[in-house]
Amino acid sequence: MQRHGILNSHIAKVLADLGHTDTICIADCGLPVPEGVQKIDLALDFGVPRFEQVVSIIAKHMKSEAVHVAKEIKEHNPE
């Protein structure tokens, strides 16, 4: 059993399989997901885990070539 790194086996596999030009999306609840697109739902309760927690941990375990942030994130999170 893995005890370090990404413990969620579905996320670990996605990260291991990523190559150049591949894209992942990290979003909070409510984002529409088209049919045929893999979705890994981590929700335990509303807001748990927090979006920032997920992004921070995932970013430690992958090399990003670009990051795109929706403009709404600033509108709805003024901090």
The catalytic site residues sit at: 20
What is the 3-class SS of 19-76, one letter each residue?
A: CCCCCCCCCCCCCCCCCCCCCCCCCCECCECCHHHHHHHHHHCCCCCCCCCCCHHHHH
